Structures are given as C-alpha cells and as structure tokens.
Amino acid sequence: MKLPRRRFLSMAGAALSVLWPRRRGAVAQAAPSDNWPARPITLVHGFAAGGSTDIVARIVAEGLGRHLGQQVIVEARPGAGSTTATGQVARAAPDGYTLILLTGSNPIAAAMYRSLPYRTIDDFSLIGFIVEYPYVLVTYPDHPIHTLADLVAVARSRTSPLLYATAGTGSGPHLGIEHFGKLANIRLQHVPYRGGAPAATDLIGKVVDLVCDPPTNLVEFIKAGRLRAIGVTSANRFFGLPNVPAMAEAGVPGYEVTSFCGLAAPAGLPATLVTRLNAAIAAVVKEPTAIERFHTLGVEARISSPEEFKGHIAAEVAKWTSVVAAANIERL
C-alpha cells in the first residue's frame, strides 16, 4: 500500500530522530556501556602543546589510564583563549570518551567575552580539581618597593601610576592585580605583553615597576636575585617561595587569587561515570610521583568533590565579572 506523502515524511522523520537524536546541535547522550571505558578516552585542553597545562594534562592522562585500564590520549586544541576547545567539548557526546582540562581561564572568559559558544557551567559535568597555584608579584632588586606596604605607600604618593606588566589583557594576573588595586584603593597602570618572558625581561631592564605572573615563570629569577618577590596572591604562602608573604597577610585581608586545572566532561555525563572519574583523579593526584612532578611545574595538587569544583567556578565567574566591571576593562 502506498502511503500519503505527508504521512511518509512524518514516519521517516520519527525514524531519523531515533537514529540521530539531538543534543544542542551535537550527539545526544548515549547510555554508558557496563564495560566503560571500552576504548581510548580523549582529554582535550585549549593551550599549546608543551606548555604547563599540556604537561599537567599528560600527568593526569597517564595516571587515569592506569586507574581506568584504558589509554587516555591528550589533545591540544589552542585558540581564542581556550574557548574554541571548550566549545567543541561542550558539543561532544556525554559518554565518558571526551573529557576536558579546564583552567582558571574558564571563569575569566565568562567575564571577559561578550558571548561564548557554550554556557560556562550548564554545558559541563564538572568532575573535580586537579591542581591549584597562585601568582607572584615581583619588582627589580633596587626598586624602592620592598614590601606590599611600600607598594601601597608609593602608589598613593605618586602623581603618575606605577606600571605593572602581565602576559596579556584579560589574563589571570591582569584581573588579579586590578582586584588588588581596588581593595587597596590605589591606582596601577596595566602594561600587557605577549607572554611572561618579555614582561620579565623589561622588568629587569626597569621599563616597568612590577610584573605579576605564575611562579613557574619567575622563581629562577627570584632565586638568582635578579627579581624581588613582594607577595603571592594565594591566601597562604606558596610552597616554592616560603619566605614570601601572601598578599592577604601583608596588608590586604581577604585577598585571594589563584588559578587551577580541573577535569570536566560534556553536560549529561551519567552520575556513575562522574563518581568514577572523580575517584580516579583523586587517586592520581595523591601519588608521590605526581605530586613531585606537579611541584616541578610550580603547582599543587588539590582534591575536591564535583560540587565543590562547580561552586568554585561559579564564585570565580561572579568575582571576575565584578572586577571587569569595576575596573572598566573592555570586554572582548
């Protein structure tokens, strides 16, 4: 019997919807297999291969591979401040075979970009922290600023602002120092560079007054006496610079700025897989060899529940949105 055209098309559409279910323009959630993982897992990050984020990803991938009994392949997809990779993972199937290493740039992007190809929290199953680290504020050795109290006093006494350099507009150090300036009620002038190395070089050459960057990029300069550390941005002292005060203890109570790496998957990852992955990364970051390798990078292992990780990102989005607005930083 020949079916009417309209009914035929309706039946065909229904059949296709079963074969190709929709999920925000990508693949719909697939029921996880009882033997997950049955094939290699891809761990994506949005930064260049060979950098510190890539190294963290490879430490995690090697450990997860051992704990899950399946290979974990790291895939670097740099671009647009890591938002390109993040958007691609947000549209992937939530089947446990595509994961992403989120960093502190994730909540900053929510504050800095007018629009993003994903929702910062709702488009992800947030699994847990992996590592955390502060930034360090430095000057050159014969600068009159020796302490954070000196910095505040000098900044308030000058008619022109002190110049501080970072690795770029909208970076964690940039927003972190803007946040500090507001809390301390001082005016500082940001000088963006294309990376931390040229910023440190110009600080040594006395082109700028201060540099804020992750400790990894500055520790050797500090230990060699070529730069002087004023403070670290974490609530407590940094293990790699135990004699350098936290900025909160040096006169700005409540100030805390850190960055992180954590694990996430596309939204809709089954709760059983979230639990397994959270337990696996907790086991990995507690291993002495992983802790030693993290310390070499200037980062510290951190264990958390999925709920704690989600709450941290939400709080960071709110904080950086407020900082961007208060400092009149132009959004991208």
How do residues 306-330 score in pLDDT, each as one tens digit? 999 999 999 999 999 999 999 999 9
The two domains 39-133+258-326 and 136-232 share their CATH topology (first three levels equal)? yes
Please write the tens of the pLDDT for every residue from 93-119. Answer: 999 999 999 999 999 999 999 999 999
Band of residue 33 on the pLDDT scale cut at 50, 70, 90: low
- Calpha distance 61→73 (Å, rounded): 7
Residue 2, Cβ neighbours under 10 Å: how many? 5
Average pLDDT over residues 231-256: 93
Residue 228's Cα: distance from chain center in Å?
26
- The structure tokens 């060699």 sit at 224
- Calpha distance 112→321 (Å, rounded): 8
Residue pair 91/26 in contact by the 8 Å Cβ criterion = yes
- Calpha distance 240→219 (Å, rounded): 8
The CATH H-level (homologous superfamily) assignment of domain 39-133+258-326 is Bordetella uptake gene, domain 1 (3.40.190.150)
Q: What pLDDT shows up at residue 251?
A: 81
- Calpha distance 311→112 (Å, rounded): 19
Residue pair 103/120 in contact by the 8 Å Cβ criterion = no
- Fold for domain 136-232? D-Maltodextrin-Binding Protein; domain 2 (3.40.190)
For the whole model, what pTM was predicted?
0.88
If you ran DSSP here, which 8-state letter would residue 249 be given?
A: T
In the chain, where are the structural domains located? 39-133+258-326, 136-232
- Calpha distance 216→240 (Å, rounded): 9
Taking phi first (over 0 means left), then psi (-120 to 50 degrees means alpha), and beta for anything else, what does residue 99 get? Answer: beta
Average pLDDT over residues 272-295: 97
Residue pair 76/48 in contact by the 8 Å Cβ criterion = yes
Of 9-13, 113-117, 192-196, 283-287, minimum mean pLDDT range: 9-13
Q: Tell the burial category of 68 from Cβ atoms under 10 Å away from its Cβ (0-12, 13-18, 19+).
A: middle
